[in-house]
Amino acid sequence: MGNKKGSWLTAALLAPTTLWFLIMLVFPLIVVVIYSFGERAPVGGYVASLTLEQYANLPSRLKAFTNTMTFAPLGALMCLIIAYPLAYYLAVKVSQRWKLLLLVLVILPFWTSMLIRTYAWIFILGGRGIPTLLEIIGIEGVRLINTPFAVVVGIVYGYLPLMVFPIYVSLDKLDKRLLEAASDLGSTPFRSFVQITLPLSMPGVATGCMLVFILLMGEFLIPAFLGGGKVFFIGNALVDLFLQSRNWPFGSAVAVMLVIIMLVTVSLYMRFTMGGKSGRDTSIM
Amino acid sequence: MVMRVYSFVVYLFLYVPIGIIVLFSFNSGRHASEFVGLSSKWYGKALSNPFMMDALTSSLIIAFSAATLSSIMGTTAALALQRMRGPVRVIFDGLIYISIMIPGIVIGIATLVALVTVFDILNPVLAAIWPDDNRPPKLSLGYISVIAAHTLFTMSLVIVLVRARITGMDRTLIEASQDLYATPWQTFCQITLPQISPAILAGFLLSFTFSFDDFIISFFVAGANTTLPIYIFSSIRRGITPEVNAIGTMVLVVSLTLLIIAQVLLRSRENKSSRDN
Amino acid sequence: MSKDYEDDLPITASKFMDELRRYHKGSVSRRHFLGVTGLGTAMAVMSSAVPSLAPGRALAAGNLSNKMVLATWPNYHNPKTLENFTGATDVHIQANVFGSNEEMIAKMQAGGGGVNVIENTNYTFQDYVKLGLLTPLDLSRIPNYDPSTQNPKFAEASTVNGKVYGVCKNWGTTGLVINSSKVKNVPKSHKDFFDVTMGEGSGHTILHDYQLTTIGAALCALGYSFNSVNAGELAKAEKLLIDSKPHLFAITSDYQPGLRSGDAWMSICWSGDGKQLNTDLPEMKYVIASDGGELWSDFYSIPADTPSLDTSYAFINYMMDPKNQVLDAEAHGYPTSDSRVAALQPASVQSDPILHPAKELFDGLEFGAAVTLTDPIRAEVMARFKSA
């Protein structure tokens, strides 16, 4: 591994990725940080300056931050609760013949547009959807659309496949002979699950939760469509700042803050979920 | 049994909204909220609409490019990183970690702000040094910026997936192969690649799906180009007509067909390889 | 900022008309010339004999692209008008719907996105021109536009520094729409409107995703000017808006679907939407608030970076044809500033109380002021209200 040829090969393999990271990640983030210390031009946009004004104004978006920080973990948790049994069923119980088909069926909704699928829920949860059905059985005055509930439904619907897949992948690697051996040794199915299956699936669970959480932290569409402008995420605040009030410096400050919050929460999260095996090369990161 | 019923309910949850989309694509009325009668006219409308077709083409080009680039770069990077330790490895882990963690909306904003700033500097320079002063090229947002921004995220996704697979890989085979004096390239082709190819394939598919469906990054960095999600977003704001449902249904049917073809191909290959063994 | 604005105030109506007439002279004399020499007749005969010269080509000179993008508002065109244009010219139209003028100008500022024609509102022209985002119009390329039949009250806002940047699409008022079968005491003012929102109608009100009308409504309810940029008054308006937020159904400028499905009972409303709703659902009442509101006119303008100037002009010229304006108005409802259009419409349209409100209500309305478009306090109040 220490030989010269090997390290040249390694460098060549890494070069395109390195370039990509520098141009598309490091440089843009530096620009955003610079902008966040600037001022809004009179007609909108950016004027160079060095001020902390934008950061001082951050508390005016507190509700958007707390909303996001509530709905992102909640949404990830709901996805996990609903996805895990399905992933387990697909990986362990389903015969090889049906596996692929059922797996494809999970991801297939992903191949219609997220927008259209979310739009379908406006219709289902709207006044002429479920509330009308409920009225038929005598429950009146139920309002679902433009509520936190509608947003959670939209989140679970939108991100479920992202949770099912990583869990499935990690469970699928599980050697089923282990389970057989455990059962031969007199372990109950529940004990086998807790002692063998669950730990083995943790990387998948961690990946899935991370993916959903991260995507939710920047979510814009679901609250915009199903929250009716009432359930407001940071993503909505950012779109507003860049595409409506044209306040680029403040928008940059909000974006920087969002990234900081994510770095902190995700690092903490990883320490908690993977602290026990930090010495190992964990498969998530 | 309970598991089966549960899974059935989840599939129902996943497919009822899609059923509604498909049903309403055959609505002869203009408004999406009332079903008037059966008609396939919205399919004709959608297919003859140049905006829809342009948006679809853009999305396919972008998604295919982003998925291909990220599969290649992600796999090579994962293999390279596997051979490394020390500070470079730590820096890369950090970059991968950040690019996955940063929300798409921030990538969109950062790319927009950075590229607009660079273009504002470069365009006058280009105009000044361009020999033919009639038509100096003008840098602007477009396909390339969308592909580049999508690839940032999807590439890291592929690295993570492939690396997870490498970690779970059976090392004894590699060692055996090396003991038998196979060249590294032979070892890679015959041992490593077959073992990590499911992860690469999964990475490609995830990348394609992510890119094809992405709205928010494209919304910021697509410039004058319209991708399918941007087109659908403006259609929904216009007051959705069944035309959008027809588009959604067609996308679904096409991907379904592709998946069936892929499965048939895979199965025939599997059969062949099991016979060979 | 406000000083600039004073300096840039539109010129007087009569001066404007003179300007326009002078501007228009070229086109009139050409038409006159064609008529006198008989060339016009000859061309008409030729074009009917040679199919390739027929309507499509005759509609507009120049090279038309096969598609164009129109930046417009919800429920603002008759689909038939747009389809007819496509039928005649083979130019497909994509209508991009916006929620506010602020959003529209932001999109133009961020690089346009290949828009051919925008339908901006009277108070936005000062800033669009200052930012160099619009093409000054060559009215000789819009022969269907006749300045002499325009009502200057609505048409003059698009003239900045003596140049014309837009032709008037139509005008309207901003009031309230109330589902009278759900709300017993139909509000007569913005004050009533907010009271009902936070009372019997809780959970069923829509406010626009638009600083001008939403902040304007709150300002009117408090007895201030619709256009106020006074920090103290705006702070009180912000408080009213934030207090009402838990009682809202939604914040959106596309409010018809919510009202039609019965989820929403009340909304801030533009008169044409009020007319559309009232026609389909008579219980939907359009109210011009007694404590003020907005009078506005929208224009067809061409962005400076339009992908095809010829297509932009062809579309505007087509839309300026009184017949097409009548057809378009059948769907959107709004009155136009063009007297030729009024002459072609049934008398009931001219006497419609929603579209042409009584004088005493009409007089209380204000045009939106240019300062509101970029006023940082109003932008921030709106953004804070939305994220509250």
Which CATH number covers residue B129?
1.10.3720.10
Q: Is residue A215 part of a domain?
A: yes
pLDDT at residue B266, rounded to an integer: 66
* pLDDT tens digits, one per residue of C238-257: 999 999 999 999 999 989 98
Q: Is residue A6 part of a domain?
A: no
CATH architecture of the region C2-170+298-350: 3-Layer(aba) Sandwich (3.40)
Provide the mean pLDDT of chain A. Answer: 87
Decide if pLDDT at A4 tops 70: no
Nearest to C263 among A45, A127, A244 (CB): A127
Q: Is residue A239 part of a domain?
A: yes
| Closest residue in chain A to residue B251, using alpha carbons only | A112
Q: Is the distance from CB of A218 to CB of B103 less than 8 angstroms?
A: yes
pLDDT at residue B11, rounded to an integer: 95
Decide if pLDDT at B268 tops 80: no
pLDDT at residue C38, rounded to an integer: 44
How many structural domains does chain B have? 1
* pLDDT tens digits, one per residue of C325-345: 999 999 999 999 999 999 999
Most distant CA pair in chain A: distance in Å? 78
Percent of chain C with pLDDT over 70: 84
Provide the mean pLDDT of chain C. Answer: 85
A: neighbours with 3+ CB pairs under 8 Å? B, C
| Residue A221's CATH number | 1.10.3720.10
pLDDT at residue C360, rounded to an integer: 87
Q: Which residues of A touch C182 (CB under 8 A)?
A: none
Contact A42 C374 (CB under 8 A): yes
C: neighbours with 3+ CB pairs under 8 Å? A, B
Q: Is the distance from CB of B138 to CB of A250 less than 8 angstroms?
A: no
Q: Is residue B109 part of a domain?
A: yes
CB burial string C88-114: b at 16+ within 10 A, e below: bbebbbbbbbbbbbbbbbbbbbbebbb
Where in the sequence is the domain holding B84, given as residue range(s)? Answer: 50-240
Where in the sequence is the domain holding A136, given as residue range(s)? Answer: 62-277
ipTM: 0.85
Q: Is residue A15 part of a domain?
A: no
Higher pLDDT, B35 or A14: A14
Percent of chain B with pLDDT over 90: 29
Name the CATH superfamily for C172-295+353-387: Periplasmic binding protein-like II (3.40.190.10)
Q: Is the distance from CB of C235 to CB of C170 less than 8 angstroms?
A: no
pLDDT at residue C33, rounded to an integer: 39
Q: Is residue B178 part of a domain?
A: yes
* pLDDT tens digits, one per residue of B226-248: 899 988 888 887 776 788 888 88
pLDDT band at A284 (very low <50, low <70, confident <90, very high): very low
Return residue ranges of chain C for CATH 3.40.190.10: 2-170+298-350, 172-295+353-387
The residue length of chain B stands at 277
Taking the Cβ of residue A37 and every Cβ of chain B, the question of whether any pair is shorter than 8 Å is answered with no
Cα dihedral sign for C290, C291, C297, C303? negative
Quick check: helix, strand or coil at residue A21?
A: helix
pLDDT at residue C114, rounded to an integer: 82
How many structural domains does chain A have? 1
Nearest to A120 among B17, B81, B107 (CB): B17
| Closest residue in chain C to residue B34, using alpha carbons only | C261
Decide if pLDDT at B61 tops 90: yes
* pLDDT tens digits, one per residue of B82-137: 878 889 889 999 999 888 888 899 999 999 999 988 988 888 888 888 776 566 67
Contact C111 B239 (CB under 8 A): no
Q: Which residues contact A33 (CB under 8 A, 6 or more apart)?
A: A252, A256
Mean pLDDT is lowest, of B160-174, C94-108, C118-132, C231-245, for B160-174
Quick check: helix, strand or coil at residue C62?
A: coil
Decide if pLDDT at C104 tops 70: yes
Give dist(CA C53, CA C4) in Å, integer. 49
Decide if pLDDT at C310 tops 70: yes
Quick check: helix, strand or coil at residue B163?
A: helix
Decide if pLDDT at C27 tops 70: no
Token pair in block for residue B51: 């905006």
> How large is the average pLDDT for residues A7-27?
91
Quick check: helix, strand or coil at residue C198?
A: coil
| Closest residue in chain C to residue A236, using alpha carbons only | C387
Q: Is residue B165 part of a domain?
A: yes
Higher pLDDT, A281 or B208: B208
pLDDT at residue B1, rounded to an integer: 81
Nearest to C97 among B50, B140, B234 (CB): B234
pLDDT at residue C41, rounded to an integer: 46
Most distant CA pair in chain C: distance in Å? 71
Q: Is residue A20 part of a domain?
A: no
Please return the burial class of A175, using the count of CB atoms within 10 Å of its CB with bins 0-12, 13-18 and 19+. exposed
Give me the residues paired with residue C174 across strands.
C270, C294
Alpha helices in A36-136 (DSSP H): 53-56, 62-88, 96-107, 114-125, 130-136
Nearest to A123 among B20, B76, B113 (CB): B20
C230 Rama sector, left if φ>0, alpha if ψ -120 to 50, beta otherwise: beta
The DSSP secondary-structure symbol of C51 reads G
Mean pLDDT is lowest, of C106-120, C131-145, C271-285, for C106-120
Contact C379 A60 (CB under 8 A): no
From the CA of C236, how many Å to the nearest CA of chain B?
31
Provide the mean pLDDT of chain B. Answer: 85
Decide if pLDDT at C112 tops 70: no
pLDDT at residue B132, rounded to an integer: 67
pLDDT at residue A3, rounded to an integer: 58
pLDDT at residue C153, rounded to an integer: 93
